Structure 1
Amino acid sequence: MVHVSYCLLAMLKNRKKFAATFGGIITLLATLLCSGTAVAKNVDATNSAFQYSGRIDFANKAVPVLIWQGSTVTARVKGNALAFRFSGLEGNVYFDLTVGDTKAVLKATNGTVKSPLTLSEGWNTIALFKRSEASVGHVGFEGVVTDNGAQVAALPASNAKHRFIFYGDSITAGACNEDGEEDQWGDFSTHNNAKSYAAMVASDFSADYRNIAISGVGISMGYQAYRIGQVWDRYYPDPTAPKADLSSYNPHVVFMNFGENDDSFTTNKQLPFPTDYTKRYTDLVREVRLAYPNSRIVILRGGMFGGAKSTRLITAWKAVVKQMEAEDSQLSHYVFDHWHNLHPRVENHRKMADELVAWLKTQTWFNQH
């Protein structure tokens, strides 16, 4: 009876006073006590068991900031309980949490967030994959909470043959891809980068994957207050943010897919198509080449109406490709056949991914890697 009473106290005592700040900790402690497990312990983000992938802000190594969609944190855990510690939340952040072979959506909040998935007996591979895009939120990762007798270890080092980085807009980010009949921008839990064509292509090749895509951004004009040329090389989607160390990542292939917002924004505002689109895009490609001198660059087009059907966008885009392929022998292009009248849904992304995968397999430069 004493044990049961202590469990009830842990879950109920002062619940109103502490729920907002310590709710996750109380819940986890209650779980541990009720299961007869020893008290909880923190495993800090600096622990060598954690492996990070993505353009992550490590300015404060104790609290790395997970910014861009597709960023991951992985580890192995052997224990009885699991929770995650976050801080510095800005906006909305959603993760795909994987524990072993099971997966769930986890919404980040400041403080301790109990895992919706339980650990199995023995070693468990755990992974956080940031499914929501950088422009709607970022969060600091402080580590995990588990039971005092738990063990943590790193996964084996990646031996991926390919490294892909995708630059783009909402199509590449995977915005609205799990929405219903209408696009919506109120609940970002249905904007899932893991089910974007970009992530699918990377997965099909078991490639290391990064995604720097921003909904609404354009080459010359778009729905963001900045252009992609102002932010593509920064830690955050903000022209005033620090520039990232691009030399720390050497991609095999750099994919670029821009133009949809230049077309749709100006169409909606009854403006002419930007006359500087071709120049700004070619300037951007040259900057990308300087950053990645050994990478193959693939300029993509399509996924929505503009890229598929807008004559003014297609004409300007073709001028970019013609000019850049003439001056850069390590540059190619691909145009998607499949497109959707709204933002592509998961099934549309799958068709786009299948196209791009099939095309890559026919490319001599790709197969020689």
Structure 2
Amino acid sequence: MKHWTKGLAVAATLTLAATAHAADTRLQAVMKKLDAGEPITLATVGGSITTGYAATPPREQGWAALLAKSLGPKVKLVNAGISGTDSAAAVQRLQAQVLDAAPDLVVVEFGVNDQWLDPAVRGSSYEAILRKLLAAKKPPAVVVLGLTQQGNQPRDATDLQLKLAAHYGLTALDFGAWMQARVAAGTDRWAALYDEPVHPNGIGHQRIAQALGETLRTATSSNAVTTALPSPLHGRAHEFTRLLMNDALKPYQNSGFSRGGEVHPEWTGQQPGWQAKTDDAEARFLVWGSEVAVFHAESEHYRNLEARVDDGPWGTLRGHVPERKGYLGWHYTVVGRDLEPTAHLLQVRVKRDEWVGSGRPASLLAIMSAGIVPPALRTSAFQQEPPSNRMGQIPADDARLRWVGRIAAGALSSSKLLAWSGSELRARFTGRELSLEFSSTHWGTSHFTVEIDGRALPLAVPGKGLTVWRLREPLADGEHTLRLIKRTEASMAEASFHGLRLAEGGRLLDPPPPRALKLEFYGDSITAGACNGDVNDDQYDDLYYHDGTRAYGALTATKLDADYVGIAVSGIGVTATWNELLMPQVWNRYAPRLDAAQAPPDARAPDVVLANLGQNDHGFPASKGQRIAPDFAPRYLAFVRGLRARYPNAKLVLLAGGMTAWKDEPAIPRALQQVVATLRGEGDARVWTYTFQAFAYAHPRIDVHAQMADELTRFLQTEVLK
């Protein structure tokens, strides 16, 4: 191994610059394989310095290639450097470009590019790279290469990375300190390594390779045992990512954007993203995660975009960067952070700025999300407390609490049964504390949204027990508004709400006024919002992603500032069902059970009653190779007559769509039209039918629900509520 010895005399003075940790047995094993003449795979991941930029030719004279050559002829190099990228983008490509190569040794370099990465991201994204490497099926040895710009400045990102290396017991090279020691010893000059402040020249690449070789050599001196991964310092959000690129990057709504724009020349397999040249171009995408970012090009020739997640604030995607003359840069711009780790809607549009009317392009190449965490890692704004004696608790039947929906008396005196999704509590209070008490005899977990002063906080209430949930962080002084809304559909979970507790001295105030309009929906899984937040295929194992408050009916009510009542059950129909019950058996009950009490007509009747049924009347028999029941039309008519009898003054809207039954089975739209014709022929003019144009072949996700809500809102405003 004589090719490592050059410079070892100086290395003796650099013990603080290169550190081989006692726990780094993986690196020791790799070095022993090299000493034995066995082949290894070396992978390097980083930005333009890792690609060999400014060396000639880069892929042959960059530090990665030089290091591989110095380690011997049996070293296979996988150079996963991509210019202009940081650790946040690297997490998204780590599996395909590094881990799939099953490397024995990985050198990670992002000290320079992460200096320009959002400081709120760089700790989590870089740590995620280390954790994903160390948790791989075949964990490689990992070496952290801490590079800085010329003169060892600035160091924020590098110092963070070196601390992470120490935390995980990894060998690390602080190249800035290594080089500064040579400068102090009079054996080297920073100016000899750089022709500009950022990228080392050919000599600089030689020095990096030399320093790494010396660092690897020190790893042979320890025989400690490798330990399990320690707890993360910056959370685990970036271990769980999703990349929307190429064919997966498809807007669900688009006006003015077309396929095009620059691709990254070093990112193998990339296809053009989306670009626009008109001032009013806008596109919307379905995304997931607690952090959503757009990966886009920047240069002197592009113009700016702006984007937001859901109804959040707009942020600028800076495409026009005048200092990037003659070459493209690439940027990971966070649009939404600290989001609920579920599905969201991303809106991107061309920014109206000084480049309006210029015809310059604006583009995006990919959407990168993080924080799609498994259930065990989801955090909550609430902490569970032991049940108390209820002294000072405000009971659920207090007159100052406003309830919206079909809500029955609960399991205990003064409690309320919350079965149907969309069941809502509205209140106003003072004080800095809030606790909520629930019980459940049902097996399923009930997911709620607790909205305090407009901020939505998820809360999972387990079945089969009594639980109390206290808000972790104190509220501000003054008045507060509260909405407690059940997300989980009734057939999957029920819960009784017992009451709430405020801070000492806190007061429950008069409730918010009722909304002027009330909508009541009857339907199946589409109306219930089943699977509407699922990341991949439809699933029923984790109902956190099934959210009735983001189904089309609830969204329509929000758009119209209306109270919402949702009576919806997955798999149900008028003539067929995937389960045991038909809608005519449960439509007027407090819960979708035959032992649930029938609910009397609401004291405040809905202004509009809407029904969306038929998907399962077709889907269930079709799964057995059968046609829809021949008496579907008269039985559907009988069901609608029941709605009319219950609400003689309401406007009725018969809906079809969201999935494909109405396309596949003509008997469904035909039956709806016949019902409308029959009722109107009998003098009932307050009945309409509407067929959604937005649909999905599987259960619709929130993007399809958003389109359905837009359609239905327009229809109600122009045809029904006028």
Instruction: Give TM class, smaller chain.
Output: 0.7 to 0.9
Greater Cα offset, 84-93 or 264-273: 84-93
Counterpart code for 1:97: V
More helix by share: 1
Q: 1:178 aligns with which of 533, 536, 548?
A: 533
Aligned AA for 2:402? Q
Instruction: Assess if the C-alpha contact under 8 Å between 1:166 and 1:198 holds in 2.
Output: yes
Q: Is the 8 A contact 1:231 1:237 kept in 2?
A: yes
- Partner residue, 2:686: 330
- 8 Å contact 1:65–1:141 — kept in the other structure? yes
- SS of 2:595's partner is coil
- Distance between the aligned counterparts of 1:111 and 1:156, measured in 2? 27
Q: CA deviation at 1:40?
A: 8.4
Q: How does 1:292-331 map to 2 (within 5 A)?
A: 292-327=647-682, 328-331=684-687
1-side partners of 2:551 and 2:480: how far apart? Answer: 26
2:385 aligned with 1:25, yes or no? yes
Partner of 2:592: 237
1:282-338 CA-partner distances (Å, limit 9, x unpaired): 001111111000011010101101123333433444433433343332111111111
Count of residues paired in the alignment: 333
Q: CA deviation at 1:269?
A: 1.5
Match of 1:56 in 2: 407
CA RMSD of aligned residues (A): 2.1
Q: What is the aligned counterpart of 1:119 among 462, 472, 475?
A: 475
TM-score by length of 1: 0.85
The residue type equivalent to 1:192 in the other structure is D
From 84, 104, 112, the equivalent of 2:457 is 104
SS at match of 1:248: coil
Identity %: 32
Match of 2:403, SS state, is strand
CA distance in 2, matches of 1:89, 1:146: 26
Q: Distance in 2 between matches of 1:233 and 1:116?
A: 39
Are 2:418 and 1:66 aligned?
yes
Stretches of structure 1 lacking an aligned partner (at least 5 in a row): 1-22, 29-38
Tell me: CA distance 1:41–1:57, structure 2 relative to 1, closer, same or farther (3 Å).
same
Equivalent-residue separation in structure 1 for 2:536 and 2:467 (angstroms): 35
Q: Which moved more, 1:267-276 or 1:193-202?
A: 267-276
Distance 1:71 1:118, change over 3 A: farther
The 3-state SS of whatever aligns with 1:184 is: coil
Structure (1 or 2) with the larger CA radius of gyration: 2
Aligned partner of 2:610 among 255, 263, 273:
255
**Quick one: which amino acid aligns to residue 81 of structure 1?**
E
Residue in 1 that maps onto 2:572: 217
**Cα distance in 1, alignment partners of residues 672 and 538 from structure 2:** 26
Aligned partner of 1:15 in structure 2 is none
Report the counterpart of residue 75 of structure 1 in structure 2. 427
SS in 2 for 1:182: coil
CA distance in 1, matches of 2:473, 2:690: 40
Q: Does the aligned pair in 2 maintain the 1:40–1:145 contact within 8 Å?
A: no
- Asked whether 1:359 is paired with 2:711, we answer no
Query: Is residue 106–residue 116 contact of structure 1 (8 Å, CA) maintained in 2?
Result: no
Letter in 1 for 2:385: I
Query: Are the equivalent residues in 1 in contact too, given 2:420–2:567 (CA < 8 A)?
Result: yes
Q: What letter corresponds to residue 283 of structure 1 in structure 2? A: A
Aligned equivalent of 1:272: 627
Aligned-partner residue type, residue 698 of structure 2: L
For normalisation by structure 2, the TM-score amounts to 0.44
Question: Once the 2 structures are TM-superposed, how far is the Cα of residue 195 of structure 1 from its aligned partner?
Answer: 0.8
Deviating more after overlay: 117-126 vs 165-174: 117-126
User: Match of 1:8?
Assistant: none
User: Which range is displaced more, 112-121 or 260-269?
Assistant: 112-121
How far apart, in 1, do the equivalents of 2:407 and 2:714 lie? Answer: 31
Change (3 A) 1:313 1:169: same
**Cα distance change, pair 226–26 in 1 and its aligned pair in 2 (3 A):** closer
Q: Is the Cα–Cα contact under 8 Å of residues 655 and 689 in structure 2 kept in the other structure?
A: yes
Match of 2:646 among 291, 294, 313: 291
Q: Distance in 1 between matches of 2:498 and 2:679?
A: 43
Structure 2 partner of 1:129: 485
* Larger relative contact order (CA 8 Å, sep ≥ 6): 1
- Deviation of 1:168 (Å): 0.6
Contact 1:340 1:348 in 2 (8 A): yes
Q: Deviations over 1:234-293 (max 9, x none)?
A: 111012321101142311110011000011111112222111211111001111111000
In structure 2, stretches of 5+ residues that fail to align are: 1-382
User: Which amino acid in structure 2 is aligned with residue 135 of structure 1?
Assistant: S
Kindly indicate whether the alpha-carbon contact (under 8 Å) linking 2:519 and 2:609 is maintained by their aligned counterparts in 1. yes
Q: Which amino acid aligns with 1:134?
A: A
SS of equivalent residue, structure 1 residue 152: coil
Distance 1:210 1:334 in 2: 19
Supply the distance in 1 between the matched residues of 2:571 and 2:670 (Cα, whole angstroms): 21
Which stretch shows the higher mean deviation, 348-357 or 308-317? 308-317
Q: Pick closer, same or farther for the CA change 1:295–1:236 going to 2, 3 Å.
A: same
CA contact (8 A) 2:636 2:671 kept: no
Query: Residue deviations 1:320-364, cap 9 Å, x none?
Result: 34333433321111111111111111110110111111112222x
